[in-house]
Amino acid sequence: MLYARSRQLTASLAAVVISAVVVWAIGRGPTDHRLALLVLATGTIAASIGLGGQDHALDRTAAIRWMPRRAMHVLLAGVVVGAVLLTVQTMGHELATVEFVVRNCAGLLGLAALGAAIAGGQYAWTLPFAWLAFAFFAPPPTSVPMEVATWMMLPPGTAAGTWTAVTLGVVGTTAYAVAGPRR
């Protein structure tokens, strides 16, 4: 419980749910996976601030094994963000397929974890945010490098998109689990 509180769990969770409901309610036009991407990114970014503790010195005194706990934290955050969107859209009006949600959750949470390892929990959101801005503004991809660069916009099942998401997920989670948030 203390761990959850120190990681701003309630506030993050509220932000995840509110953003999902708001975008879902607004985006009742033609189905567009960019709306789903916005929900997932907001969720990731809200969850990312929990990737750093309040006080690093205090954390070090805790007699727990940090590595599996940190990995679990990232995975759980990803599951929650994805699950919230999927739950909201069971009320009718689908925004995205399960495949799309899983891929982008994995990739985005990986990015956030990497951001936490590099810049600390407080600034972890900058990495997913920057990539999202790029993906939204970049022209439709015509080559494989551009597909990798705009992975989160690709339709589900595109090899380049899936592999980039998997790589980001694995690298980010590992880096965060091993190194922890930057102090």
Residue ranges that bind other proteins, judged by CB under 8 A: 8, 11-12, 15, 19, 23, 26-30, 32, 34-35, 38, 41-42, 45-46, 48-49, 121-122, 125, 129-130, 132-134, 136-139
Angle at 38 between CA 33 and CA 42, to 5 degrees: 150
Which lies closer to other proteins via its Cβ, residue 13 or residue 162?
A: 13
Count of Cβ atoms closer than 10 Å to residue 51 Cβ: 25
Q: Which tokens sit at 157?
A: 């099942």
Amino acid identity at 70: R
Which lies closer to other proteins via its Cβ, residue 72 or residue 130?
A: 130
Instruction: Quickly tell me which residue has 């920057």 as its tokens.
Output: 130
Amino acid identity at 8: Q
Contacts of 30 (CB under 8 A, 6+ apart): none
C-beta of 63: minimal distance to other proteins in Å?
Answer: 26
Which lies closer to other proteins via its Cβ, residue 16 or residue 174?
A: 16
C-beta of 8: minimal distance to other proteins in Å?
Answer: 6
C-beta of 129: minimal distance to other proteins in Å?
Answer: 6
Residues for the chain: how many in total?
183
Contacts of 80 (CB under 8 A, 6+ apart): 13, 16, 43, 47
Which lies closer to other proteins via its Cβ, residue 61 or residue 137?
A: 137
Which lies closer to other proteins via its Cβ, residue 66 or residue 136?
A: 136
